[in-house]
Amino acid sequence: MTTWPDPERLLIARYLAGLGLRSTNSRTYYKQVLHSFQDVAERHAELGQDVLVAWLQISSDSWAASTRLHRTRIIDRFLDDLLQTGAIDLNPVAVLREACNIKQCKPVWRALASDSPVRALAELHQPKPFGSVLGGIMAEHVALMRNRGYKYTAQPVWLLRFDRFLQLNPALQDGSIGVMLEHWAAAKATRNHAAECEKLKRLLTRILRHRNPSIPPRRPDPRPQKEVAKHWRKPHIYTPADVRRMLDIARSYPSPRAPLRPLSIYTMLLLAYCAGLRRGELARLDLGDVNLQGGTITVRQTKFFKTRILPLPDSVMAELRAYINARRRVGASQDARSGLFWQEQRSAGYTSQAIACLLVDVIRRAGLKPPQGRTGPRLHDLRHSMVVNRILDWYRTGINPQDRLPFLATYLGHRDINSTLVYITVTQDLLHHANERFRAVGAPCLNLGGEVRP
């Protein structure tokens, strides 16, 4: 039985009290939005699409379109809370979202705010996942692979794109799989699409062979992937001077409202380069993952479900200790499960996306990347640079890198050295040291006529 809208508006008061909003402006905005929404709901017999459209029309007199769309998020959260507590039987926004087969609420609100909500919602409708004639066996295969313990994230994306294409072209669903794949391959002329089609053909053949072992395996065609590889961007190898410049910029990063942020960015950059951590691994680090006494950090459940313990140099541990002390002084949570990189304004850890934005901004400020665009060095190139510079240090100290590659692979979280070899970019310095090593070892073997060639 529904209990909202309640005449005393106690549910709004309870909801606002539970949010713990610290800003007076935020409390005012939330209260204004929720009370205006209940005013509209009380004039309708039931909570449905008509209430949403009516509130959007009334609020258009007070707020700009962008502000109104932004504040719909307040209503989304309030409706989710009412549904969870049983105050309403259904959330009309969630119902429309499910009917359109989309995950976000904002497109639904944008369609409702248009001149023709019915037509806009019809255009918003997306095909149901795995709703084509092949959808059943594809969904069954994805479930099977995930039940076996695989993450299996890339392959379902290929299958869903193909499935959506079949639903939008129903005439193809009566043909053979070969005809479907031919039309899918001709849908786009890009190199990446051709490579994805080749992978999809092999994947579908594997799925069908599980159901009918008499189907012959498909020979792979490496040409599409080679065409894509020709246009891959070569990793940028940061020099130690580049890294020092970025660290100096991180320490002086402008952040008047968050005094801890410059030191947080500095420590993130330090771990990204010295420990070769991915941005997701940085975001998932907890305070309890740092062992100051043992000089190690624990990187948990990373790619392919692996956990590794990384020893760090004393200099890096000293910087980590300084950061943790500064973190404690600003009042951050001391719970071992709280995020290591803590931000004052949200009282929570940094997300992977926030870390990427901050570190890429540091790279831009260092003059290593253009002010705009995706060109230039990337954040992940720090991991490539760590590998190349480590091998260079081994060459300079007389260590054979071939003997150390298995240890480096383990440190980076790789299963074997084949994955680590991808990170070895041949630079002029690396080529020079490798040639010198070969000359010192191999030149005596080329003694022709008693003369050793230089």
DSSP-derived letter for residue 63 is: S
Q: Which of 333, 188, 187, 343 is nearest to 257 (CA)?
A: 343
From 303, 308, 364, 437, active-site residue: 303
**Burial of 196 per CB tally in 10 Å (0-12, 13-18, 19+):** buried
Task: Note if 202 is an active site residue.
Answer: no
What's the rounded Cα separation, in Å, for the pair 115 and 38?
Answer: 23
Report the alpha-carbon distance of residue 403 to residue 1 in Å, rounded.
70
Starting at the edge strand that comes first in sequence, how are the strands of the sheet with 290-291 ordered? 290-291, 296-299, 308-311
Q: Is 110 a catalytic residue?
A: no
Burial of 5 (0-12, 13-18, 19+ CB in 10 A): buried
* CA-derived radius of gyration, the chain: 29
Q: What is the DSSP string of 375-430?
A: -S--TTHHHHHHHHHHHHHHHHTT--HHHHHHHHHHHHT-SSHHHHHTT----HHH
8 A C-beta contact, residue 187 and residue 165: yes
Distance from the Cα of residue 28 to its chain's centroid: 34
Q: Which of 71, 164, 261, 278 is catalytic?
A: 278
Sign of CA dihedral 108, 114, 119, 123: negative
The CA distance from 206 to 406, in Å, is: 32
DSSP states of 175-224: S-HHHHHHHHHTT---HHHHHHHHHHHHHHHHHHHHH-TTSPPPPP--HH
Provide the annotated active-site residues: 278, 303
